[in-house]
Homo-oligomer: A and B are copies of this chain.
Amino acid sequence: MSSVRQVNIAIIGAGGVGKCFLSQLVALAQRRPSPKLVLCYISTSKKAVFSDDYSAIGIDNALSALASSSQTPLALSNLVTYLAASGSKTVLVDNTSSTDIADAYPSFLKSGISIVTPNKKAFSGSYKLWQDIFGASAQSGARVFHESSVGAGLPVISTLKDLVETGDEVTKIEGVFSGTMSFLFNSFAPTSGSGGKWSAEVKKAKELGYTEPDPRDDLNGLDVARKLTILARLAGLEVESPTAFPVQSLIPKELESVSSGDEFLEKLPEFDSQMEETKVTAEKEGKVVRFVGSIDVAAKQVKVGLEKFDRSHPIAALKGSDNIISFYTKRYGSNPLIIQGAGAGGEVTAMGVTSDLLKVLAQLS
């Protein structure tokens, strides 16, 4: 096999995931001298570091170089041109959740630049963007991997791809796809004991850093809907967008338009009776309520919302903020293939990105 000596890396984003990825990249470059990884571009939304000879940045001091840089990020079209002209195999690592960058993936891929990313936007946007991305990849041979777009570092996307590509028939996918929702419901409706009031659990989750700054960004269900869109498409369904199927929002109608997350939290207790009723109804059946996503592949039905589960069901027995994903397939029969564990957090999300990078490197060399 021919051996690639050098691979250029361009990184966009240096937030929570970006910082963890950088430290994993430093360790990776130390452990694996070949191919040589050259950081040729790094940017945040405001700053960037790059140079005409593509080699100005030491991976281990990239953050300080960024901090002291006076360069601004290249426009995305210029970034494509800059990277395509480097003369080396190049991988773009998009550690943002930017829609603009996602929209530019087809341009990068057409120019032979491979992409690894945890960014859900590209794969859960319009179906046309999805087709453009994988069409451009097939045409140029540039790779695109996005393991961390669902379940962070858990091997969810690679497993689903393996099932599909080896010819198994995936009949149903079901699970808890949000660490926030997992934490909320494991506390609110535990399998033993009674749990707290809904509004108190939301408040606690926010204080512990398990929610977005405005908890409504978790409670609207859109994050889960985006993940379901990605999995449904990988399973062969042409889902048009994450709003093309039923998604239950846990935001009371009356609080949808209050001005801030704080005001939302303040008024949420007035609506506790709704969630309490849902919990009690489930309890009377010996069940617990959970916020799940499911894909019925044969019926082409995707949905996100509250469901009741027996206390002994693996989805009910989940702990902390863990995700669980069950794949029901023809080969696996009545007992699904289950993957479970932390589905959020900087380190595990970055791990998915790093392992995707390793896959690209193995395929480039």
Contacts and interface: CB of A to CB of B under 8 A. Distances in A.
B319 A332 contact: no
Give 6 nearest A-B pairs by CB, closest first: A337-B341, A1-B141, A338-B340, A162-B355, A166-B354, A27-B167
A363 interface: yes
A348 B331 contact: yes
Nearest to A112: B1
19 contacts: A1-B364, A24-B167, A28-B166, A28-B167, A153-B162, A153-B331, A153-B337, A191-B312, A314-B314, A319-B335, A331-B342, A331-B345, A331-B348, A332-B342, A335-B341, A336-B341, A337-B339, A337-B342, A339-B340
A72 to B, nearest CB: 31
A322 interface: yes
Given A333-B342, A335-B341, A340-B340, A166 B358 contact: yes
In this complex, the member of A141, A314, A341, A348 whose beta carbon has the largest number of chain B beta carbons within 10 angstroms is A341
Contacts of A333: 342
A3 interface: yes
A32 to B, nearest CB: 8
Nearest to A319: B335
A338 B317 CA distance: 13
Interface string A133-169: 0000000010000000000011100110011011110
Interface in A263-307: none
A128 interface: no
Contacts of A154: 337
How often does this chain occur in the complex, in copies?
Answer: 2
Interface string A243-255: 0000000000000
A3 B348 CA distance: 33
Interface in A317-353: 317, 319-320, 322, 327, 331-342, 345, 347-348, 351
A348 B332 CA distance: 7
Given A319-B335, A335-B341, 6 more contacts: A154-B337, A155-B159, A155-B339, A191-B312, A331-B345, A333-B342
Interface string A66-91: 00000000000000000000000000
Interface residues of A, number: 49
A324 to B, nearest CB: 8
A2 interface: yes
A355 B317 contact: no
A46 interface: no
Given A155-B158, A317-B314, A342-B333, A168 B364 contact: no
B165 A358 contact: yes
Given A158-B155, A158-B158, A340-B337, A355 B166 contact: yes
A338 B339 contact: yes
A185 to B, nearest CB: 16
Contact of A166 (B317, B319, B351): B351
Given A155-B158, A337-B341, A168 B331 contact: no
Nearest to A114: B1
Nearest to A340: B338
A363 B3 CA distance: 11
A331 B345 CA distance: 9
A362 interface: yes
